A and B are shown apart, each in its own frame.
Chain A
Amino acid sequence: MFSSLIDTSFSLNDLWFMLKGAGVTLAVTFWAVLAGTLLGLVLGVVRATAPWWVNAPIGFVLDIFRSVPLLIQLVLANAFKPMIGLNWSSFTVGCVVLALYMSAYCTEIVRGGFLAVPATTRRAARSLGMSWSQDLTEIVFPIALRVALPSWIGLTLGVMKDTAMVWWIGVVELLRSSQVIVTRIQEPLLVLSIAGLIYFLMSFPIARLGARLERRWHEND
């Protein structure tokens, strides 16, 4: 086993192929996180402020995205696409499904952050003469950010790891590209270890940053 690690047929070209896969992983993550966060911000504020008859249906729908395996969501979206005559690439489908998945979790994080701001603080802001939108941007947002950002970082990393599933609908990302190499050179342990290392390097530093932010910001709690 160890000899196979030394005289390997894994070449620099293969590494380059895997790094390109990692680029696709990051691209899917970027679009999913961007769209998911924007949608999550809007829905989170709506969920924190709207009356129950608006709140309940939104909560119910978002809950579905959190209770059905992502793999099944991807397959369903991919099968649904031609039915309504959409001509999207599987890359786009993957991004859209992951964005919805991200927004479902992000909504709850934003809502939690929003509700963590005491009503008295907001009333104080209003009685100082701030308008509703000023209160939202100058008071609620900075305080809520401290509560929400560590969980948001964790969620982003979670979505990055979940992009590994989009290969099922035909996107060649990091894990799929390593599979392609494995079928050619038949050294699964080595190639998968490299893939794992790349994932680890993409995730670990940011996870550490999140943990540090959480500790620093909760020092005075």
Chain B
Amino acid sequence: MKYTFHWLPALRALPDMLWGALVTLEVAVLSMLLGVVFAVLLALASQSRIWILRAFATSWVELARNTPALFQIYMAYFGLGSFGIYIDSFPALLAGITFNNAGYLAETFRGGMRAVPDTQMRAARSLGMGQIQAFRLIVLPQLFRVVYYPMTNQMVWAILMTSLGVVVGLNNDLTGVTQELNVRSFRTFEYFALAAVIYYLIAKTVTLSARLIAWRLFRY
């Protein structure tokens, strides 16, 4: 191996990369929040009696699940231009990941709704609870328990997906910052290895804290 590593410049760039990591987290968290909202709406729409709502929900979910995330981000960045909508790389990335998250989470929520038996609702109603009360106190906690683990998985995927922003020209998230440093110095391996470590730590932190929260929430 004739390569000399230069770790020092990479370590000097660490603060910049950590700021980038913050943007990465921001995109991931925003796309998750928006994704959950859209996913709930999609899950409800897929059980609606109006066929056009059902068709809309089905096409969203199937498109999100059967095309690459990178393609979805491209569509938001380049494709929307044909409708006269020109958006920046940050909103394009956010829109792409949100679309993807919503598609996957909608399936999760649909499965979760099926996992809570109807009889639970009926029992709650016959005990004198109102519709909303029964949903909030009986159905929702059980639903949450089922969808919690897939949701944390999706959160980790959302973090990993944010790295695709660099492809549509985002330059202030972790991968974007790393790429900027890389084209300035061509120390590709050092910078990207450092970025990989940061991504790993972020993903592990999210998984571990999710597990801690689950332990606190779901104990009997």
Q: Which residues of A contact B (CB under 8 A)?
A: 1, 4, 64, 67-73, 75-76, 78-80, 82-85, 157, 161-165, 168, 175, 179, 182, 187-190, 192-193, 195-196, 199-200, 203-204, 207
The 6 closest A-B pairs by CB, nearest first: A189-B82, A69-B163, A164-B68, A188-B78, A67-B203, A161-B68
Shortest beta-carbon distance from A210 to chain B in Å: 11
Q: A200 contacts B66, CB within 8 Å?
A: yes
Interface string of B179-215 (1 = CB under 8 A from A): 0000000001100110110011001100000000000
Q: Which residues of the other chain, B, contact A192 by a CB distance below 8 angstroms?
A: 71, 74-75, 78-79
Q: Is the interface of A mostly helix, strand, loop or mixed?
A: helix
Q: B75 contacts A196, CB within 8 Å?
A: yes
Shortest beta-carbon distance from A133 to chain B in Å: 35
Contacts A76-B189, A175-B68, A204-B66; is A71 near B166 (CB within 8 Å)?
Answer: yes
Range, interface on chain B: 35 or more
B83: Cβ under 8 A from any A Cβ? yes
Q: Roughly how many angstroms separate A85 CA and B196 CA in the complex, as a whole number?
A: 23
Q: List 10 A-B contacts (CB under 8 A).
A: A1-B82, A67-B199, A67-B204, A68-B199, A75-B188, A187-B82, A189-B79, A192-B75, A196-B63, A200-B62
Q: Which residues of the other chain, A, contact B195 by a CB distance below 8 angstroms?
A: 72
B106: Cβ under 8 A from any A Cβ? no
Q: B193 contacts A76, CB within 8 Å?
A: yes
Q: B71 contacts A164, CB within 8 Å?
A: yes
Q: B156 contacts A4, CB within 8 Å?
A: no
Shortest beta-carbon distance from B164 to chain A in Å: 7
Shortest beta-carbon distance from B80 to chain A in Å: 8
B3: Cβ under 8 A from any A Cβ? yes
Q: A79 contacts B163, CB within 8 Å?
A: no
Residue of B nearest to A78 (CB): B188
B69: Cβ under 8 A from any A Cβ? yes
B132: Cβ under 8 A from any A Cβ? no
Q: B74 contacts A68, CB within 8 Å?
A: no
B50: Cβ under 8 A from any A Cβ? no
Q: B196 contacts A73, CB within 8 Å?
A: yes
Shortest beta-carbon distance from A6 to chain B in Å: 13
Q: A195 contacts B82, CB within 8 Å?
A: no
